[in-house]
Amino acid sequence: MLKPEDFFELEGNPFSGLFEGVEYVWDALKKIKGYIKANIQPNVAGLRKNGSVLAKTVVLHEGKIVDSGFVLEPGDAAKGKFIVKKDGKVLSNASVIYAGVALMDDNIQIGKGTVVEPGALIKGPTIILDNTEVRQGAYIRGDVMVGNKCVVGHTTEMKASVMLGGSKAGHFAYIGDSILGSVNLGAGTKLANLKIVETEVILEIEGKKYETGLQKFGAILGDGVETGCNTVTSPGALLEKKVLVYPNTLVRGYHPSNTVIKLRQNQESVKGE
C-alpha cells in the first residue's frame, strides 16, 4: 500500500525512473525538477527565433522544421490519426505546432506525432512525449512531464505535475503538484494542491499519520481512475487503481483500488472485481 506500483503499471513506462528509490508514491513529486533537468531534450529553440508566439503553423519531422508545403489532415493525435503530408507522402511521426502557440522559453521538448493547438501556452522546463494533444487554451506552467498518448485539454492548467501516459484531461481541469496514471478526468476536475492554511500536508491513513514533507501536494490518481464532471480533490488525495468518482464530488484522503466514491464519500466495491 502507498507504493508506486500500487497506483501505476510502470514496466516499460518512459518516466519509470522518476520512481526509483521511492518509498511512498508522493515522494516522486520531490524528484520532478531533478528528473526533468537530467532527461529533457529541448527541441523548440529554432521555432522561437522570431519570438515566443508562433506566427505560422510549422511541422517538426526527423529533427527538422518544415514551415511550408505540407498538408494537414486533422484527427485524434493520441490515436495516431493526425496525418501530415508533403509532396503527396505521409510524414510519419511528424508533430504539428499551430500558429498562435506560445513557447515561452527554449527548455521545452515536444515529442513525435504530437499536436499543439492554437492558443496553448507552454513554459519550460517541460517534457511532452509522443502522440499527445495539447489543445487550444491549455496552460502548461513548467516542471511538467506529459507522457505518450495524453490529452492536455481546452483551458486545462498544469504545473509541477506528471501524466504517465494515456492520461486524459480534456476540458477545464486544474492539475497542480500531482501524478496521473492512465486516467480520464471529467470536465471541470480540479486537483487542489494547497491548503487554506499553508502548512505541510499530513496524511492519516488507517490510523497512521504520514508526514509528506510537502506543502504543495495535489493528488495521486492511479491507472484506471475516472472522475465525474466537477470533481474536486483536497490536497493529498490518493486514489489507487480503478477508482470511480461520481460527478460534483469532493474527494479527501486515501481510497483503495476498485472503489466508488459518491458525493458523501461513501465507498463501494466495484462489482466483478
Can you give the pTM of this predicted structure?
A: 0.94
Residue 2's alpha-carbon distances to 32, 94, 250, in angstroms, are: 18, 39, 21
Among 170, 204, 218, which Cα is nearest to 28's? Answer: 218
Read off the pLDDT of residues 228-261 as tens digits, 9 standing for 90 and up.
Answer: 999 999 999 999 999 999 999 999 999 999 999 9
Grid cell for residue 247: 460527478
Would you state the pLDDT for residue 25? 98
Task: Characterize 199-232 residue by residue with b for buried, 16 or more Cβ atoms within 10 angstroms of its Cβ, and e for exposed.
Answer: eebebeeeeeebebebebbbbbbbbbbbbbeebb
* DSSP class per residue in 1-35: --SGGGT---TT-TTGGGGTT-SSGGGGGGGHHHH
> Residue 273: pLDDT above 60?
no
- pLDDT band with cut points at 50, 70 and 90 for residue 264: low
Distance of CA 162 to the CA centre of its chain: 5
Would you state the pLDDT for residue 272? 41
The CA distance from 147 to 163, in Å, is 6
Cell 499553508 sits on residue:
198
Would you state the pLDDT for residue 269? 53
Read off the pLDDT of residues 174-212 as tens digits, 9 standing for 90 and up.
Answer: 999 999 999 999 999 999 999 999 899 999 999 999 999
Grid cell for residue 237: 488525495
> Residue 74: pLDDT above 50?
yes
Average pLDDT over the chain, rounded to an integer? 95
Q: Residue 255 contacts by C-beta under 8 Å, 6 or more apart in sequence?
A: 237, 238, 239, 240, 243, 261, 267
Would you state the pLDDT for residue 271? 47
Using a pLDDT cut of 70, give the percent of the chain over it. 96
